[in-house]
Amino acid sequence: MPAIDERHQEVIKKIKLVMKDISKNITVERMPVLDVPKIGYDNTIWSEEKRMLTIGSKKVQVSPDSIKKIPTFSQYLVMANAVRKLLDEEMESTIRGMYYATLSTVGDDKIKQKFWNSQENSDDAIKAVELLTGVPREEFSVTSKPKGMISGPITLRVGGDVIDCSLGSRATSQLIPTNIRDLEIIDVKADFIMVVEKDTVLNNIRKSGFIQKYNAILLTGSGEPDRATRMMVKTLNEVWKKPVVIFTDADPWGLGIALRYKIGSESLSYDSDRLVTPDAKVLGMMFSDIYEYNIPEVARLPATEEDISRATDMKKKPWLNDKKWQKELSLFLQRKEKCELDAFFKHGFRYLAETYIPEKLRHAGLL
């Protein structure tokens, strides 16, 4: 497809431009500098207008002028070159593949070390290439293992095949491919989209006939959602105008996952425009639901120290100063108890899909 090739050409051109600037600086005896937008809390800005987290203007300067940055600098360049090669050869790769493709050792016989300490380093370098070129890695064919799943009345074109996800939707779900080039949404017949945290919960709900009964699409990121899953949710909401509801566990981790979909994350704040669905509704599971739905004490879990510090942290975030969230977090910090969606099975295997969720949806005005 010419358009995609053109997109690739753009990435190649941008990488070449980076290389050119560096070589120019060297030619005139200046230490080259890469200005990489800074990732993290202190460069994350809550945009009231967009209702999502966006990246600020802070930059990290990566230059071989400092001894600590020499390895980082060369890692970024090596990775950029590897991406360019990948595109030149019209191939695609996972992030792990990129790690292997660039494996090497540095130094002489006396002091020899690995070019990458671990795959984490190379993942960081890939991120840097994204930031430098301003192109997300899916668009230069570097992807991760798919783990998002979708089930319900939606028709996709994956590669060349048309897949109707409602077929067999009582038994299976369709994996969401991570390489978005391979994916096209052909038709959506559902009334709304329901995102759950885990595939186990999704399976339970699907089995109950929820999809058919409420004409819904079930979707999960299997924990932390990958980018393709987030983009899928966003597209369904904003392009196909389907309301999105989110159910996650009643713990800080689950709440974090729900917020990834709704407002974005600090680590991917530079890509929020493509990933975040501000109109998504986080319906459950609220901390207050633990008590309102009488989850028996045996099914509640005591909060760990990590949970507490996470929740305390979240409570301070300016984008969570909404009264409702503050109240929920305060409740959690006070009771120090958490609960998984699976805990509803204690009330019976169909309780979650046939009582709790419909009640929540009705309350939100979706049913």
Partner 1 sequence: MKPKHSIEVASTQVENVTSPRTSSSINNMGRIRYDKKAESEFFVDNSALAGFTGERILYMAVRELIENSLDSCEIHHILPDITLSLKLVDPLNDLWLISCEDNGIGIPADKVPVAVCSFLTSGKYVEKQQRGLFGVGLKMIAAFSTKDTDHPLRVWSKSSEDRAEHYFDLRTDINTNKPIVMAKNALKPPDGRIKHPSGFRIEAILRARLSPITKSRIYEYISQTSVVNPYSVLVFETDDGRVVFDRRTNAIPEPAKEVLPHPSDMDLKTLKKAVMNYMNQKTTIHGLLCSAFQKISGEKAKEIIGRAGVDLKAANLYNEHELIKIVNVCKHTKFQSPNTDHLSPIGEQILTAGMTSEYAITMNKDVRGSLPQDQPHLTVKVLKPSLTAYSSRTCVINNRPTVVECGIAYGGDIGSFKLYRFANKIPLLYDEGSDVAREVVSEVEINRMGISKKEVKEQFSTADTKSDRAVEMLPIHIFFHICSTKIPYKTAGKESIAAEGELKKYMKSCLADLYRKVSAQIRKELRVKDAENRLRLYRHYIPFIIEAISESIDIDAKRLYELFNKLAERHVKGESLPTKPNYIEDTITEDRIQQEVGKDTLAPSKTASPNMYGEKALGDEDKYLRSNTSALRTKKKTSILAPSKDNQPENLRHTTRIKNKKRKKKEIDNQITLDKFDKFRRPREPGRR
DSSP letter, residue 353: I
Rounded least distance, CB 56 to partner 1, Å: 9
Residue 263 found at the interface with partner 1 (CB under 8 A): no
Rounded least distance, CB 21 to partner 1, Å: 5
Residues in 224-243 at the binding interface with partner 1, rule: CB under 8 A: 231-232, 235, 238-241
Among 39, 53, 55, 95, binds partner 1 (CB under 8 A): 55
Among 51, 71, 146, 266, binds partner 1 (CB under 8 A): 71
Residue 62 found at the interface with partner 1 (CB under 8 A): no
Residue 29 found at the interface with partner 1 (CB under 8 A): yes
Task: Count other Cβ atoms within 10 Å, centred on residue 9.
Answer: 12
Name the helix (H) or strand (E) containing 218: strand 216-220
Task: Count other Cβ atoms within 10 Å, centred on residue 184.
Answer: 12
- Judged by CB, which is closer to partner 1: 28, or 298? 28
- Judged by CB, which is closer to partner 1: 77, or 295? 77
Residue 103 found at the interface with partner 1 (CB under 8 A): no
Beta strands at 161-164 and 154-158: parallel, antiparallel or unpaired: antiparallel
Residue 89 found at the interface with partner 1 (CB under 8 A): no
Candidate ranges 6-14, 166-174, 197-205, 322-330; the one touching partner 1 (CB under 8 A): 6-14
DSSP letter, residue 37: E
> Which ranges of 89-118 does DSSP label H, i.e. alpha helix?
95-101
- Judged by CB, which is closer to partner 1: 216, or 352? 216
Counting every residue, how long is the chain?
A: 367
**DSSP structure string for 203-221:** HHHHHTTHHHHHTEEEEE-
CA-closest candidate to residue 277, choices 8, 50, 56: 50
What is the distance of C-alpha 278 from the center of its chain?
14
Residues in 340-359 at the binding interface with partner 1, rule: CB under 8 A: none
Is 100 catalytic? The answer is yes
What distance in Å separates the CA atoms of residue 81 and residue 87, rounded to the nearest whole number? 10
Residues in 171-230 at the binding interface with partner 1, rule: CB under 8 A: 180-181, 183-185, 187-188
The catalytic residue positions are 100
